Amino acid sequence: MKGKMKRVYLFEEGSAKMRDSLGGKGCNLAEMTNLGLPIPPGFTITCQACNEYNALGKKFPAGLMDDAKAALANVEGKAGKKFGDAGNPLLVSVRSGAPVSMPGMMDTVLNLGLNEKTLQGIIKKTGNERFAYDAYRRFIQMFGDVVLKVEKADFEHILSAKKSERGVKLDTELNAADLRDVAARFKALVEKETGKGFPEEPLEQLELAIHAVFGSWNTPRAVTYRKLNRIPNDLGTAVNVQAMVFGNMGSDSGTGVAFTRNPSTGEKELYGEFLMNAQGEDVVAGIRTPRPISELKKEMPQIYSQFAETAKKLEAHYREMQDLEFTIEKGKLWMLQTRNGKRTAAAAIKIAMDMMKEGVLTKEEALMRVSPEQIDKLLHRQIDPKARPDVVAKGLNASPGAAVGRVYFTADDAAKHGGKGEKVILVSVETTPEDIHGMAASQGILTSRGGMTSHAAVVARGMGIPCVAGCEKLKVDVAKKTATVEGTDAVIHEGDILTIDGGDGRVILGEVPLVDPEMKGEFGELLALADSVSRMHVRANADTPQNAADARKFGAKGIGLCRTERMFNDPARLPIVQEMILAETQEARKAALAKLKPVQKGDFKGILAAMDGLPVIIRLLDPPLHEFLPKLDDLLVEVTTLSLHKGDERVLREKERLLHKVRELSEFNPMLGHRGCRLAIAHPEIYEMQTAAIFEAATELKKEGKNPIAEVMIPLVGNVRELAMLRKLVKKTADGVIAKSGVKLSYMVGTMIEVPRACLTADEIAKEAEFFSFGTNDLTQTTLGFSRDDAEAKFLQLYLKEGILKDNPFEVLDFDGVGKLVEMTVQLGRKARPGIEIGVCGETGGEPRSIDFYHKAGLDYVSCSKYRVPVARLAAAQATIREKLGNVGERKGE
Amino acid sequence: MKGKMKRVYLFEEGSAKMRDSLGGKGCNLAEMTNLGLPIPPGFTITCQACNEYNALGKKFPAGLMDDAKAALANVEGKAGKKFGDAGNPLLVSVRSGAPVSMPGMMDTVLNLGLNEKTLQGIIKKTGNERFAYDAYRRFIQMFGDVVLKVEKADFEHILSAKKSERGVKLDTELNAADLRDVAARFKALVEKETGKGFPEEPLEQLELAIHAVFGSWNTPRAVTYRKLNRIPNDLGTAVNVQAMVFGNMGSDSGTGVAFTRNPSTGEKELYGEFLMNAQGEDVVAGIRTPRPISELKKEMPQIYSQFAETAKKLEAHYREMQDLEFTIEKGKLWMLQTRNGKRTAAAAIKIAMDMMKEGVLTKEEALMRVSPEQIDKLLHRQIDPKARPDVVAKGLNASPGAAVGRVYFTADDAAKHGGKGEKVILVSVETTPEDIHGMAASQGILTSRGGMTSHAAVVARGMGIPCVAGCEKLKVDVAKKTATVEGTDAVIHEGDILTIDGGDGRVILGEVPLVDPEMKGEFGELLALADSVSRMHVRANADTPQNAADARKFGAKGIGLCRTERMFNDPARLPIVQEMILAETQEARKAALAKLKPVQKGDFKGILAAMDGLPVIIRLLDPPLHEFLPKLDDLLVEVTTLSLHKGDERVLREKERLLHKVRELSEFNPMLGHRGCRLAIAHPEIYEMQTAAIFEAATELKKEGKNPIAEVMIPLVGNVRELAMLRKLVKKTADGVIAKSGVKLSYMVGTMIEVPRACLTADEIAKEAEFFSFGTNDLTQTTLGFSRDDAEAKFLQLYLKEGILKDNPFEVLDFDGVGKLVEMTVQLGRKARPGIEIGVCGETGGEPRSIDFYHKAGLDYVSCSKYRVPVARLAAAQATIREKLGNVGERKGE
């Protein structure tokens, strides 16, 4: 037989495990009660009752108030007071508390049970008329506001008016008579606004308050918050009813909050503050300055030691740093709340490692206690937390880190001044592949248009340059070399100093002090621990020796993607690249390539040396050739202008020739055009040159006693025959170079998996590929039919807003679509070539939820930009642990 | 125990079933021998022996010549002659014969076994010295040419010289002495060229001839032919050695060829020709005019009736129209060859249907006898086969049918003159979506650039307009309005008359008579028969009432794709469409849409009426909006010119505004950009208008007593939430219109499947879709990562040439990649919604091999352009039959 559903639990009937039914607050009060801690008695109405209430059309389920009254009687017994009793009244607090911490719901009503009659009982019992009227006027305001929906401001007006009348400034300067008058005026306000008298009956007050808590679950604000934070709608909220204790009953009373460890640094010390003769809300109001918790030791040594003992007990019990609230009523300590404490990233790491060393946590538990995203913040320069800068505008936090520099509005200017060693901030409407040289020379990038996956954002993150993107209030006039900020009179000129914070999107005029990231001891220890448990390893995407060296410092175990086209884009080399493209014959093309070879070889040598002993996957040329030529639009305007003005005939002819070539190479959909391996099938000499450069570099290093491990990656393969043809070319060239050098060198040839057809025929392709590397950017573009640049500009935001997409698929892998292809590829690939090395080098390779997916799919490694390497190392470890523990979800909030 | 491999078969030891080992010629000779027909005795060396020969490095497998000699002895016995015998010599022919008919291999050596000694035996036996020397000189030339590789022309020079010496013109005017001298000179030539005397020993001659046949399998020409025609390299060729018979032994001898039915019309009659006192090569040489076979009846009634009897017997035996060769030697009929006869498309249909009616073939067999591609030729106007036009250039046969008209070089001119009823040929470098109005007004289209899937080709095929594309010799100067043809002095001016044949790519100056396609009785019968066996049905892609009516005439069972954007592109409507796009507010956009609604409704009404009672799938707006605006390039030049020339300020401002909008809408990769359902999610009012127009049209028709069946298709869905949102919008609008109309109308809402993600999540999408329709053009673009326009222009030809692709994936479905997605979609879709209607409306929906795949994948229908409907009907029937018969392959050639 199914028993009657229990809707009301006394604190002693619950436990921390009943979060789903008692909510976060309720279950912790229950747990503390059962630990024998001094908790004012009370009870909790379950979240399920809230759901019933809403399902019934805002009606209590039958018997709910009877159960509540029974529980209340129990509380009365423990408190030795009676609810509504004129002589010895029990007052209670009523608070909401969902399983997940959720601002947007009704918070708290204190002192419930007060009315004209019980008020007299309080006066009589405390002998403190002012205290009693103060409690009364606070109750009427809170109840009026949160239960009866009377404007809070209207109460504040009355209180201000009273203070003016009395010629005082602070609430504390009002006496008992003043407060009695205020309470009377509050009640009149309520009657005027609601058309009814203020509810005098305590049980009616309680009933109305429960209604209000239940109702607050479905306010628009709460619904929106849940939608944004992906919290299910069917959790419901619990209601906690608890006997009041008062910290404002004299000098032997007080109230405070404390953490069991320092939430900023993670140090193991009680950290918090308290106020004597005060209520909780006084601590928040900031009228009196709270004192550090350590001073309580002098003030009330016994209470302090009881509290410290309790804190220790709770931390040990929960095996987690706790955030505590307490009240001292007439020399007696009461605990009001405990919950897991919020902390900075640095503190999270230190606490996790310390608790592991203390034997409280296993290493797996310690690793699960730090969120990978937190780590990201520790890896970049930041605006000094002590600085109070004037923020003139905010954009998207597109690439983390803060930067200070002089403003330039074009990539050329930025490159020119940056090249001289000047610190530069590139400010632009948006950036294009032609701006790379200017971006690379800048300390930071600020754009007025584009989102988290705009060109500026993606490239900046890849380069590890701070970037604030899509700062829409910024109106940039590149021609005039100025920018203004909408809604302000700020004008930014070329050469002005600007500070930006890519971690939170702040834009600040002038210079603000920055602080360097610190790789503290526990940070390194945590990551080493992560590596020791991870099944996957982490590589970096890096295109320069400097980036390779940095990545290695961040713990990368190799390079998963070295893009060779970024080397082509170097302004010193671009003319040679253009010469190669404009070549009319294969001979002329080969001559230009011969000039490029030594510089590419130099790059490869530097990168391979920096990654000595670790694998470096080098992707041969990928973008369409027109990306290295001037833009068609610009040329059209130039040629039209030159021919109308009858300018220099020779220049015109030259430009026309260039225009002709650009037109010839231009494509309707370059993303799906003549690029990647398709280029090499038309012009094998390009890959030949690149392969020779790679293996000349590697064999020279080998002769120098180093251990270079070069792996050659062919991009955009969709058909095994493409790969077979190019692999043959690469092997012939590489083997020739190696044979000539006389050293021994083994290497792999593999392919990027970035079009759906490669996934669908992965078994065929695996026959020719020694490794696979997912290029999730392009694979997402083709699988979804989204051009990243266009989607970002035209409809991605709308899709996220409308809930069609839950995440930006270029940031978080599209598990249902692209993810299915990833799984299929791994299965087919391993079937055809057991043990084939499979990794990912797209943007999602550094994103924790995606990394968890890649772990489950059976990948060998993920590769990401150097600054994401530590994030990925932790995420990879957590993925392994999660699998081992049978998929433990994210920790629930509180 | 495995017996010794049999390499040599006497004719009576073989059969028609042994094509793989005896080759086409050999197996038919064997079959005829066993039917008791008069076949000169002989034997066949197997194709496997040829493979052994090549595997052994051009050496005979051990014992081969012994086996051949044994077989030869058997032939000697039957012929009553001896090979190499001076008194009664046996002469033989040696012919190659692979399992698949293959020009490019050694053909024939006749009279083998002749030498100075046996020659005397022939003279003695025939008493005809001239005949003997004629045979001898022919043998030396053939053997010298095909076996010893002496230049054929050198023999011809000797013969010509002799004729000059003798002052005669014809070979027949040379007497025995002349021919003896010619033979002597031939032998001298061979000795000079080969450094050795002409082989006198008959067995050596035979051995060398067999070497030559085996070796001819791997000549470059043969290898290339096999590659082009996808014939496996490991078939090998057989060698047929057969006793010679002579049709040139006097007036009681002769030779001829005949078909058992008329190969042009299919009529049931002996059709062929013969020559008395001649050898086979004389018929071909054309020196004497052969006589119709019917005249043989008068000439040699008994022989004729024996031949007619034999022909009948062979056709009945093979159950197929036969192509026969015979020789009459001194009043005796010898059959030399039989094979299935080639025939025109019309004949193929008539023969198949007649043979079915005669009870020879089942209906399935009759249907398998006609190739779907043959049918295509019957559906278009053609150049009168009797005309002998001067072809000035050839391009690609991009869209079938012939056309005559006056040349115009721009779409506007073509539209202007075509609109007045003038017959117009649009000649252009290439076409773009903006040229549609000019293309639609033309009789034919000729472009100098672009391939089989260029814009011109695809659109022309869709519209059923003849098109010759990629005619590279044509140099078009649009500015001067002229075109020249490389390598000729032809100049084409505006207004000149031109004839083109899109069926074979011919371009002809001036007018050539055309003949209309005829839908003969058997044609219709065949297609009706096809429909009666097909599991799938066939719909048409059609956008206008006229096309819908035509499609219905061609047998379409509905419309699988009605594109609404083609209606937007109508020049009368384009300004309203542009007004809609340029609208700054939703109100202004709705106002423009309100103007479009009545015209769209008119279109829909016409189409639904034409397809009364059959389903019409209407796809809501798909292309990105910028396709309806002027090109960015053109505007840039205009604005630059206007602003430099300080032209009309008002015009400049207007153009600048347009330029601004075009820039705003322009995309990097429009194929993957803001189009399809993405447009409608941003601007729901567009689909709202279209839906209202559809259902207002449908309900009005219903009131008129018609039975309109409208189905609404949402394009480019990749995520079920897109479809859910838009389906709701469509249903709300449609149900509103229907409710208001008061009639009852049911309809379906479904989606196009054209991005891989839709396939991967087809189970989810099926929950919101009542039907799926594969858009294989876009699905191929995204799956392969190929932009069709760019691939065509940049690398597709190279990929086909290099063998990376076997077919153009936009013409024939990419079975391994896109096909896998198609199968997955059908499985997932049917799992989630059993019985969901699934079809295809992309280009491949009209291609026979793809149709076979769609049948196997379980689709309900294919949809294609109207002219492909009959092709698809037959292909669908053949797919059903092939499955039923356990996948009978294509008929082998012979």
Catalytic residue among B537, B841, B855, B864: B841
Rounded mean pLDDT of B213-232?
85
Give pLDDT, residue A518.
64
Output the DSSP codes for A170-215: SGGG--HHHHHHHHHHHHHHHHHHHSSPPP--HHHHHHHHHHHHHH
Using the predicted structure, report yes or no on whether residue A890 has a pLDDT greater than 70.
no
Give pLDDT, residue B518.
63
Report the gap between the CA of A44 and the closest CA in chain B (Å). Answer: 39
- pLDDT, tens only, B856-888: 999 999 999 998 999 999 999 999 999 998 754
- pLDDT, tens only, B279-332: 877 765 556 778 899 999 999 999 999 999 999 999 999 999 999 999 999 999
Banded model confidence at residue B536, pLDDT cuts 50, 70, 90: very high
R_g of chain A, CA atoms, integer Å? 34
Banded model confidence at residue A284, pLDDT cuts 50, 70, 90: low
- pLDDT, tens only, A721-767: 999 999 999 999 999 999 999 999 999 999 999 999 999 999 999 99
Under a CB-based contact definition with an 8 Å cutoff, are residues B454 and B373 in contact?
no
Reported ipTM: 0.82
Q: B798 vs A719: CB contact, 8 Å cut-off?
A: no
Using the predicted structure, report yes or no on whether residue A893 has a pLDDT greater than 50.
no
Q: A681 vs B794: CB contact, 8 Å cut-off?
A: no
DSSP state of B452: T
Give pLDDT, residue A801.
84
Using the predicted structure, report yes or no on whether residue A773 has a pLDDT greater than 90.
yes
Q: A721 vs B681: CB contact, 8 Å cut-off?
A: no
- pLDDT, tens only, A867-878: 899 999 999 999
Element (H, E) at A42: strand A42-45
R_g of chain B, CA atoms, integer Å? 34
Beta strand segments in B178-287, E: 238-243, 254-259, 271-276
Using the predicted structure, report yes or no on whether residue A2 has a pLDDT greater than 70.
no
Rounded mean pLDDT of B413-436?
89
Report the gap between the CA of B689 and the closest CA in chain A (Å). Answer: 21
Structure token pair of residue B66? 């012994």
Structure token pair of residue B265? 């019309």
Percent of chain A with pLDDT over 70: 97
Active site residue B562: no
Question: Which residue from B800, B794, B869, B811 is spatially nearest to B398, judged by alpha carbons?
Answer: B811
Could you identify the residue written with the tokens 């009858």?
Answer: A646
DSSP state of A848: H
Looking at beta carbons, which residues of chain A come within 8 Å of B670?
668-669, 787, 790
- pLDDT, tens only, A142-172: 999 999 999 989 999 999 999 999 999 888 8
HSE, side-chain direction, 13 A CA sphere, residue B578: 16
Cα B638 to chain centroid, rounded: 45
**Residue of A669, A757, A816 lying closest to B670 (CB–CB):** A669
Q: A782 vs B820: CB contact, 8 Å cut-off?
A: no
Banded model confidence at residue B3, pLDDT cuts 50, 70, 90: low
pTM reported for the whole predicted model: 0.82
Q: A785 vs B799: CB contact, 8 Å cut-off?
A: no
Question: Is the C-alpha dihedral spanning B636, B637, B639, B643 positive or negative?
Answer: positive
Using the predicted structure, report yes or no on whether residue A57 has a pLDDT greater than 70.
yes
Give pLDDT, residue A894.
34
Give pLDDT, residue A455.
79
Q: How many CB atoms are closer than 10 A to CB A710?
A: 26
For residue B493, what are the β-bridge partners?
Answer: B482
Q: B817 vs A760: CB contact, 8 Å cut-off?
A: yes
HSE, side-chain direction, 13 A CA sphere, residue A455: 16
Rounded mean pLDDT of B437-464?
83
Cα–Cα distance between B688 and A862 in angstroms, integer?
Answer: 46
Beta strand segments in A303-373, E: 322-329, 332-340
Looking at beta carbons, which residues of chain A come within 8 Å of B756?
756, 782-785, 817, 821
* Side chain identity at residue B593, one-letter code: L
Looking at beta carbons, which residues of chain B come within 8 Å of A636?
633, 636-637, 640
* Least confident residue range of A210-219, A317-326, A579-588, B591-600: A579-588
Q: B755 vs A645: CB contact, 8 Å cut-off?
A: no
Looking at beta carbons, which residues of chain B come within 8 Å of A668?
669-671, 787, 789-790
Looking at beta carbons, which residues of chain A come within 8 Å of B757?
783-785, 814, 817-818
* Least confident residue range of B31-40, B59-68, B347-356, B371-380: B371-380
Give pLDDT, residue A285.
58
Structure token pair of residue B863? 């949809």
Looking at beta carbons, which residues of chain A come within 8 Å of B814?
757
Banded model confidence at residue A891, pLDDT cuts 50, 70, 90: very low
DSSP H helical segments within A717-795, as ranges?
720-741, 756-760, 762-766, 776-784, 788-794
| Phi and psi, residue A57, nearest 5° | 75, 45
Under a CB-based contact definition with an 8 Å cutoff, are residues A323 and A342 in contact?
yes
Cα–Cα distance between A163 and A140 in angstroms, integer?
Answer: 18
For A140, B50, B147, the CA distances from B58, given in Å and listed in that order, are 110, 9, 14
Give pLDDT, residue B645.
78
- pLDDT, tens only, A642-666: 888 777 888 888 888 888 888 888 8
Best residue of B638, B714, B802, B804 to probe chain A, by most A CBs closer than 10 Å = B804
Best residue of B665, B678, B765 to probe chain A, by most A CBs closer than 10 Å = B678
- pLDDT, tens only, B148-193: 999 989 999 999 999 999 999 888 889 999 999 999 999 999 999 9
Rounded mean pLDDT of A521-533?
94
Q: How many CB pairs under 8 A join A and B?
A: 203
Listed as own residue / partner, the contacts of A801-809 with beta carbons closer than 8 Å and 24 or more positions apart are: A802/B681, A802/B721, A802/B725, A803/A227, A803/B721, A804/B681, A804/B719, A804/B721, A804/B722, A804/B725, A805/B719, A806/A230, A808/A451, A808/A452, A808/A453, A809/A780, A809/A784
Looking at beta carbons, which residues of chain A come within 8 Å of B786?
672
Looking at beta carbons, which residues of chain A come within 8 Å of B798?
681-682
For A388, A604, B165, B639, B851, the CA distances from A595, given in Å and listed in that order, are 53, 15, 68, 41, 52
Catalytic residue among B380, B417, B437, B455: B455
Catalytic residues of A: 455, 841
* Least confident residue range of A545-559, B423-437, B800-814: B423-437
Question: Which residue from B785, B841, B787, B776 is spatially nearest to B814, judged by alpha carbons?
Answer: B776
Report the gap between the CA of B476 and the closest CA in chain A (Å). Answer: 17
| Phi and psi, residue A409, nearest 5° | -105, -5
* Least confident residue range of A38-42, A396-400, B174-178, B423-427: A396-400
Question: Which residue from B207, B199, B231 is spatially nearest to B218, judged by alpha carbons?
Answer: B231
Under a CB-based contact definition with an 8 Å cutoff, are residues B502 and B468 in contact?
yes
Best residue of A453, A804, A821 to probe chain B, by most B CBs closer than 10 Å = A804
Rounded mean pLDDT of B395-419?
91
- pLDDT, tens only, A385-435: 778 888 999 998 888 889 999 999 999 999 999 988 899 999 999 888 778
- pLDDT, tens only, B477-534: 988 999 999 988 889 999 999 999 988 899 999 999 998 776 668 999 999 999 999 9
Q: A791 vs B670: CB contact, 8 Å cut-off?
A: no
Whole-number mean pLDDT of chain B? 91
Q: B755 vs A804: CB contact, 8 Å cut-off?
A: no
Give pLDDT, residue A1.
38
Using the predicted structure, report yes or no on whether residue B892 has a pLDDT greater than 50.
no
Q: B669 vs A789: CB contact, 8 Å cut-off?
A: yes
| Closest residue of chain A to B676, computed from CA coordinates | A785
- pLDDT, tens only, A484-508: 999 889 899 999 999 999 888 999 9
- pLDDT, tens only, A329-351: 999 999 999 999 888 788 899 99
